[in-house]
Structure 1
Amino acid sequence: MQTVELPDHKIFGTVAEAAAELQVETYVIGGFVRDLILKRPSKDIDVVCVGNGIALAEKVAEKLPHKPKVVVFKNFGTAMLRAEDWEVEFVGARKESYRSDSRKPEVEAGTLEDDLKRRDFTINALGISLNKNSFGQLIDKFDGLGDIKRKMIKTPLEPGITFSDDPLRMMRAIRFATQLDFDIDADTYDAIVDNKERISIISRERITDELNKIILAKKPSYGFKLLFNTGLLKLIFPKMVELHGVETKNGKSHKDNFYHTLQVLDNVAEVTDNLWLRWAAILHDIAKPDTKRFHEKAGWTFHGHEDRGARMVPKIFADLKLPLNEQMRYVQKLVRLHLRPIALVKETVTDSAVRRLLFEAGDDIDDLMKLCGADITSKNDAKVKRYMQNFRLVEEKLKQVEESDKLRNFQPVISGEIIMRTFDLKPSKEVGLLKDAITEAILEGKIRNEFEPAYAFLLEEGRKLKLEPVMLISKETAEEMKLAVKAE
């Protein structure tokens, strides 16, 4: 019988000691065992006992020096405690049966084998004994160790039944394959194709949770190709599937925007773990199918896809139950601006164009540049090299302008309050016009964002609107007004 060396931590010995006192068979099971064999870091431990899991958790807590709190989930028959930075969940061995209209099983007490059978994949149906006479022995009733060596995702039971019972496991199969860089067993893959429509009984939140884990993998394109080829992607994210395909007219073709998007996503994944920047990569060209046009001279165009795409982001986030907060607005901003740095590559880079980009992107300029760098893809290596050289020039120009003008997230030094007090105005169209004029002048480089030149410009613009100043404000008074607003 093969044995596995557990990490050197008191929790394992303490659980074994508590189990011996309660006279219950006890095992570490599931993902922790898999990750231990794969030498992946994990501090989430699942403990299964043939008996009362909650009672075992309480006995373990008594024995640990820091007497951790036991959190009990009575509806699920589970309990959880923390041992330093380790999270340990306890449950009694169970067997399950399912109804066709729900993924929530009917659960009853069972044997260890019953518990292993209900696991999603063979690689997660491994156990390590914590029993005195067999401590450290590997329990492997479905050749999970062999599937780890073969790098294979496979269900312990007939896959059609596994996926019909709990369709979320289809997403989990693809998620594990992506995270671990494993293949999916042929029969298991075919069962996903056959049962894909069953995904409709799964909540959108659970689906998106798995999708986000795929997106956060080292090479997320692998997962999206599996989702696409099995037919799941069309059911859970049809807008993305619309990107797929190449159309040719008069000998002119456009690129396949689905595979281009996956390349951009992988490129972004190489430089950041930021989930929302990865979502921006997924959605940057999402409006191309809606904006696609063919012109005899120009060929295929997608004019305005960046603005249309930005307008689509809130609905896509709502449909996928993604947060409709600052993360959504961040993605929306990057989708809207993703062509701007590329446009600067194609033309003479003026300071005013760079200032506007810095002003609009604000603190997200660095992430925008990562997205735009990732968006430079082509089968023509010389073209990519040329674009990247030009792109580096834009990055350098951004640094220069940022250092000299400090325009990232800048606010014009002349506030609306200063404008109103100078001309004795209430909030009005005129105040907005004057504020916009000052912002434009700063962005165009006509004036610096400093009080004296900006205030002189305000008085000049006021005269154009036939406004006479009733009070001239000094720089010191302006500073006092700013501090008063902050204090409020």
Structure 2
Amino acid sequence: MNTELLSLFQTLAQCAEELKLTVFVVGGFVRDCLLGLRISDADVDVVLEGDTTAYAERLHNALGGEIATHPKFLTKKLHSLEGVAVCEIDIIQARTESYVVPGALPMVRAGTLREDLERRDFSINCLACALELSPALLDGTLRRDQIVGTNQAFSDLKGPLLRVLHEKSFQDDPTRLFRLLRYQSRLGASIETATQRLFESAIEQRVLESISAFRIASELWKILHEKNVVAMWTMLQRYGLLQRRPFRGLATPEFLQGLSVLARKENVSDLEWLCLMSLFIVEADLPDFWQTTNTPKAGKKLVKSSRAAILGDESADLTEELRSVSEIFKQIQ
């Protein structure tokens, strides 16, 4: 058992007990524990019914870090944690969601734990475990009757099988298109037949045009930090999920080749990924791409001087050029 995680969850449970609150860890963390996957540098989502202010403050006092509050979505985020087993903790008031317009951010109101689970993206994420039972969750001894979840969630977890909860899921939140491919590769999961059909139909309906480039960029960042980034990016290209400006330059075989080279390096920095992507972004899209991704001035300067050197010479061996990309990027650090 990961002793650092156990210590963290003991603190989470103790803070809840002191306030006489019933708090649950939910979603992907529970899923990964039940699948026996290695948990490292994870984000943790905890949910309680009712106001989260007192619990968030108690955790802040116990763990440090900083609190960001998002009242519109009934969430608080404890981040910038040091010496803690996870990067950040989302503290969520149990809620329901409704989408007035496809692709828009949801309208949120307080709800029950069961309603909170039913708003999620895929069935295998509709799982919750009370914090006082977290030691059993972490060591694999938790019984099924101790987990809150739907029968569909437990059934699909055996595959694992990715299944959306309703037919409008991808229209409501098109970022789920990216998450489906990310989970498929990371979990070695299959896609349920109707979900595959809905996925392909949503792409044909160009649902990604209903969301901002910033939200797409956020999903791409998550994929870039995955172990199977090359396989995932190959699927993004296969299904045409990179045709939206300013990302269309990332849909080329040349970019995939560059990605494959840089992905061999351990601990690739965000700045390195930014510079690599900028080399392949269509020139007319660069200003929008840089604005969307907050590319620093030094990165822009290096990219402008490097584009001609790497991409302008048709005789250049792209693989060999990009083998030294990390050395080039040191100039902007």
TM-score by length of 1: 0.53
Q: Does 1:124 pair with 2:125? A: yes
Deviations 1:438-457 (Å, cap 9, x if unpaired)?
xxxxxxxxxxxxxxxxxxxx
* Cα distance change, pair 73–319 in 1 and its aligned pair in 2 (3 A): closer
- Assess if the C-alpha contact under 8 Å between 2:185 and 2:228 holds in 1: yes
Q: CA deviation at 1:45?
A: 1.9
- Assess if the C-alpha contact under 8 Å between 2:75 and 2:92 holds in 1: yes
Query: How many angstroms apart in 2 are the aligned matches of 1:152 and 1:178?
Result: 12
CA radius of gyration, larger in: 1
Query: How many angstroms apart in 1 are the aligned matches of 2:311 and 2:104?
Result: 43
Per the alignment, residue 161 of structure 1 pairs with 168
Query: How many angstroms apart in 2 are the aligned matches of 1:312 and 1:88?
Result: 39
* Cα distance change, pair 90–216 in 1 and its aligned pair in 2 (3 A): closer
Query: How many angstroms apart in 2 are the aligned matches of 1:71 and 1:326?
Result: 29
Q: What code does the residue aligned with 1:325 have?
A: K
Per the alignment, residue 221 of structure 2 pairs with 212
Query: How many angstroms apart in 2 are the aligned matches of 1:148 and 1:6?
Result: 26
* Cα distance change, pair 8–98 in 1 and its aligned pair in 2 (3 A): closer
Per the alignment, residue 330 of structure 1 pairs with 302
Query: How many angstroms apart in 1 are the aligned matches of 2:305 and 2:248?
Result: 22
1:9-48 pair list within 5 angstroms: 9-36=6-33, 37-48=36-47
SS in 2 for 1:265: helix
SS in 2 for 1:150: coil
- Assess if the C-alpha contact under 8 Å between 2:102 and 2:171 holds in 1: no
Measured on the aligned residues, the alpha-carbon RMSD in Å equals 4.0
Q: What code does the residue aligned with 2:299 have?
A: Q
Per the alignment, residue 49 of structure 2 pairs with 50
Q: CA deviation at 1:18?
A: 4.0
- Assess if the C-alpha contact under 8 Å between 2:275 and 2:299 holds in 1: no
* Cα distance change, pair 49–372 in 1 and its aligned pair in 2 (3 A): closer
Deviations 1:42-76 (Å, cap 9, x if unpaired)?
342211112222232234456x3x67765543333
* Cα distance change, pair 147–132 in 1 and its aligned pair in 2 (3 A): closer
- Assess if the C-alpha contact under 8 Å between 1:170 and 1:192 holds in 2: yes
1:93-112 pair list within 5 angstroms: 93-112=94-113
* Cα distance change, pair 344–116 in 1 and its aligned pair in 2 (3 A): closer
- The farther-off stretch of 141-150 and 73-82 is 141-150
* Cα distance change, pair 5–23 in 1 and its aligned pair in 2 (3 A): farther
* Cα distance change, pair 58–285 in 1 and its aligned pair in 2 (3 A): closer
- Assess if the C-alpha contact under 8 Å between 2:310 and 2:321 holds in 1: no
1:270 to 264, 277, 283: 264
- The farther-off stretch of 197-206 and 225-234 is 225-234
Q: What code does the residue aligned with 2:30 have?
A: V
Per the alignment, residue 231 of structure 1 pairs with 240
Q: What code does the residue aligned with 2:222 have?
A: K
Query: How many angstroms apart in 2 are the aligned matches of 1:221 and 1:320?
Result: 22
- Assess if the C-alpha contact under 8 Å between 2:255 and 2:277 holds in 1: yes
1:324-473 pair list within 5 angstroms: 325-338=297-310, 371=322
SS in 2 for 1:88: strand
Deviations 1:157-211 (Å, cap 9, x if unpaired)?
12x3211222222222233334555444332232222223222221111111212
Query: How many angstroms apart in 1 are the aligned matches of 2:75 and 2:176?
Result: 21
1:297-312 pair list within 5 angstroms: none
- The farther-off stretch of 50-59 and 80-89 is 80-89
Deviations 1:124-176 (Å, cap 9, x if unpaired)?
32222225799753333255465455344332x12x32112222222222333
Give percent identity, aligned residues only: 27
Query: How many angstroms apart in 1 are the aligned matches of 2:59 and 2:287?
Result: 48
SS in 2 for 1:233: coil
Query: How many angstroms apart in 2 are the aligned matches of 1:135 and 1:54?
Result: 27
TM-score by length of 2: 0.73
Q: Does 1:76 pair with 2:48? A: no
Q: State how many pairs are aligned.
A: 309
Q: What code does the residue aligned with 2:53 have?
A: I
Q: What code does the residue aligned with 2:237 have?
A: F
Query: How many angstroms apart in 2 are the aligned matches of 1:148 and 1:75?
Result: 32
Q: What code does the residue aligned with 2:37 have?
A: L
Query: How many angstroms apart in 2 are the aligned matches of 1:172 and 1:95?
Result: 20
SS in 1 for 2:72: coil
Higher relative contact order (CA 8 A, sep 6+): 2
* Cα distance change, pair 274–203 in 1 and its aligned pair in 2 (3 A): same
Query: How many angstroms apart in 1 are the aligned matches of 2:231 and 2:309?
Result: 27
Q: What code does the residue aligned with 1:108 have?
A: R
Q: CA deviation at 1:6?
A: 8.7
SS in 2 for 1:75: helix
SS in 1 for 2:108: strand
